Amino acid sequence: MPFLDQPRPLAFAHRGGAAHAPENSWRAFEHAVKTGYAYLETDVRATLDGELVAFHDRTLDRVTDGTGPVGDWAYPDLSTVRIAGTEPIPRLEDLLGAWPDLRFNIDLKDVASVALLPSVLARTAAWDRVCVTSFSGARLRAFRVLASAPVCLGLPPAALAAVRFRAARFSAVRLGAGAGAGTSTSTSTGTGTGTGPGWRRRAEGPAPACAQVPASVASPAFIRRAHALGLDVHIWTVNRKADMIRMLDRGADGIITDQIVMLRDVLLARGQWHPRP
């Protein structure tokens, strides 16, 4: 996966680095880029008129001077709303175009965004430099069907649970974000992890390449099982220095944080900081 072709561990600026500037704002993303980050994390939602914007919440109320669901606003009107009273809400297409060398971790937050994202990735030639994730397995399945090029995917929630609780049998369909109309293919080997790498070859379409989980899930055992399946493990949202060090010591392949300066300094001290080329 080209998205994952940088030296580990990967450092992700969560919502652009929300500890330093308003979340998912141009100012946050620009600060992360100036700090040296090659990986930016964001969320996407669809507007009433079919634009994809970088925004986390269902409604505008918490972080902007607007109100109501994002999906009830047409983009020309939404463009007048300000995050923290000062920052415009970026379009995803503009972010991808602003930094064509950077990687973006994209969390699909609503159903409408699923159908819109493939065309945005095609117009910006960004298939190789995004990873698409969601807390909804249904949204990931739908996106996978629509994707017209190989793309990095996060593991869907049901498969994350299977890895976490050491299920005895893994389904290629489940681990592959539920793609395909065929029958589930068992890949159980009866060994420690309960599976082998074969599910990745048998799953229809692009298989997930990474497991993105909170620190509470990222036990040493979970990381071992994920690695045995050929999955990178990215841990969110790690904002304390001691937690960053603990997750890195466990073998985390990536850390997602609001505290982007702190994580950079931790990685510098360990000789593991890999800034944007």
Enumerate the active-site residues: 14, 56
CA distance 172 to 61: 41
What six digits make up the tokens of 125? 């030639």
Nearest to 10 by CA among 205, 265, 264, 269: 264
d(CA 37, CA 260): 8
Strands 103-108 and 87-88 come out as unpaired
The candidate with the shortest Cα–Cα distance to 212, out of 237, 242, 230, is: 237
Partner residues linked to 153 by β-bridges: 132
Structure tokens at 144: 């996978």
Tell me the Ramachandran region of residue 125: left when phi exceeds 0, alpha when psi lies from -120 to 50, beta otherwise. Answer: left
Distance CA 14, CA 25 (A): 11
- CA–CA separation, 16 and 204 (whole Å): 33
- Give the C-alpha separation, 233 to 251, whole Å: 8
Virtual CA dihedral for 68, 70, 74, 78, nearest 10 degrees?
Answer: 80
118 contacts 144 by C-beta, under 8 angstroms: no
